[in-house]
A = this chain, B = another copy of it.
Amino acid sequence: MDEFEKAFRASGLKITHQRMEIYRELARAKDHPAAETLHKRLQQKIPTISLDTIYRTLSSLEQHGLICRINSREKQARYDADRRRHHHLVCTQCKQILDFQWEAFDRSEPPAELKHWGRLLRRDVILYGICGKCSESM
């Protein structure tokens, strides 16, 4: 968390109570919550916190590379504070998002034809499927 404060100061962003709690809540959550979900959870600690602040904070944090916005297929954007290299597995039924590592993929080289395209910055794998629990109840 100290590291977070440092990174935050380094980016010229002020440390506020709301920001700290938003980040803390996101870091604790393992379900890649949407802004609204975070808002509901945080209201217990900070009853006056507004949804706008959640949006603005998530947006700042993302711009400074402290968190990631996940591409799910849903309307609501979902966020992830885990900055270690990992990928996502999405249940298209219950919308649960699971993290997983795939080192073999991370080590692999993208196709040679992309060499001259430009500068590659990031590579994401998203697997879609139906989780065990949802399969049973269908």
Instruction: Known A71-B71, A73-B71; judge A121-B130 contact (CB<8 A).
Output: yes
A114 in contact with B132 (CB, 8 Å): no
Complex Cα–Cα for A91 and B119 (A): 9
Contacts of A92 in B (CB 8 A): 121
Known pairs A71-B73, A118-B131 / 16 extra A-B pairs, C-beta < 8 Å:
A69-B73, A71-B71, A91-B118, A98-B117, A100-B111, A100-B113, A101-B111, A104-B108, A104-B111, A118-B132, A119-B129, A120-B127, A121-B128, A121-B129, A123-B127, A126-B126
Interface pairs (14), CB distance under 8 Å: A100-B111, A100-B113, A102-B110, A102-B111, A104-B111, A105-B105, A105-B108, A117-B132, A118-B130, A118-B131, A118-B134, A119-B135, A121-B130, A122-B128
